[in-house]
Amino acid sequence: MEFNNIYQGLINGTEKLALVGLGYVGMPIAVEFAKHIKVIGFDINEKRVNEYANGIDSTNEVGEAIKDTTVDFTADPTRLKEARFIVVAVPTPVNDDNSPDLRPVEGASRTVGQNLAPGTIVVFESTVYPGVTEDICIPIIEKESGLKCGVDWKIGYSPERINPGDRVHTLTSIRKVVSGMDDESAKEIKKVYDIVIKAGTFPVSNIKTAEAVKVVENSQRDINIAFMNEIAIICDKLKIDTDEVLQGMNTKWNALGFKPGLVGGHCIGVDPYYLTNVSEKLGYHSQIILNGRQVNDSMGAFVADAAIKEMIEAGMAPKKATVVIMGLTFKENCPDTRNSKVVDIINRLKEFDIQPVVTDSWADAEVAKQEYGVELTAWEDIPKADCVIIAVGHNEYRSLSMMQIKELFKSDLPDEEKVLIDVKSLYRMDELKASKMRFWRL
């Protein structure tokens, strides 16, 4: 069966590409490809599909481009039969015990298998540990389709590198790692991605290597941030400012520029567990990666404990204090709340019978309630506070003046009793000191 004519068919308009999974990753891919070729965008979430079809982008990843895109949005899986090139971009979370939750990938594999046309190339982009594509996805697709991989259809892997909320490092400007099960599929997959990736593609020799690239690059970042978080804990005990220490360190040419912070989201807070899970199966227990995860997973409680300590030292009873948390999403200027570590701050405060008020105009209130049981309060409705925790670096928080921040507190509260927790070090030290407020920053 011919597989080396798919690219030409896509360019000529005689063939279609299908995208399975239209979230923060799949949506930008579908929209970008649709600028050049025919694209079917499939998602099991009918509400999301209808929003896209009506020009509404809840992910905020493509913005106004959603209104002009030619992507053929559908919740009908049988439409996948029309495609000769299928890209799977579904989420890969972890279970409560931090083991990989492969149900979305397995479900997508079943859907693809049930609607697979002979002569199709399937490419997975979902982050998985090395071996999942070949050991788990191929058997499912073969069973559901009755078609033999390598004969009737072929498979590849290309790890997604989209950074949600990032308007600089976008899909087309990030070099794309690509792989295929053999030379024929690898070459065709590279040609298809070269249609949209301006930064170019980087072929690797096999699928397992491509799978490893993604989990290793995110584990590296996780470990570096864990080190900075550990430094922040040490600096706190030394009663010196972490940010000033790092500014001094970064004057050296080979400093890496990492900062401490809450490490959540769908990638950095999850991918290391995929790597350590397969490592354990092979008989090697991670010495560094898991320790880094433990440090990063503890930072929400560390911030909450710092807030409680500051409130006590300010002379207030934390149980009776009005605590306002600004920000719930896992990163700034992005509506994505998946694996938000701000929730760890909230939960830690609740252990001390403190019921914080949470606000975030970027986050979806319905999702926050369903996923975390967090009731979001509109900005205009937040009460005057005893303690304000600015947990996410949204631009609207970053732009607040010290006077505007002071207005968030109770009017009868002396400045020295106003507790401000600046998790992201958004504000200058000289401004904080001049405000006379009691402040703490990570």
Instruction: Give the CA angle between residues 221, 222, 226 to the nearest 5°.
Output: 120
Spell out the residues 6+ positions from residue 281 whose beta carbon is closer than 8 angstroms to its own: none
387 assigned to active site: no
> What backbone torsions phi and psi does residue 85 show, to the nearest 5 degrees?
-140, 115
CA distances from 171 to 92, 93, 245 (A): 19, 21, 34
Catalytic residue among 137, 267, 334, 387: 267
**Pair of tokens at residue 366:** 């319905």
Q: Indicate the SS3 state at residue 273.
A: helix
* DSSP class per residue in 27-93: HHHHHHHTTTSEEEEE-S-HHHHHHHHTT--TT-SSTTHHHH---EEES-GGGGGGEEEEEE-----
Cite the beta strand spans of 235-327 per DSSP E.
Answer: 323-326
b/e sequence 412-425, b meaning 16+ C-beta within 10 Å: ebeeebbbbbbbbb
Active-site positions read 267
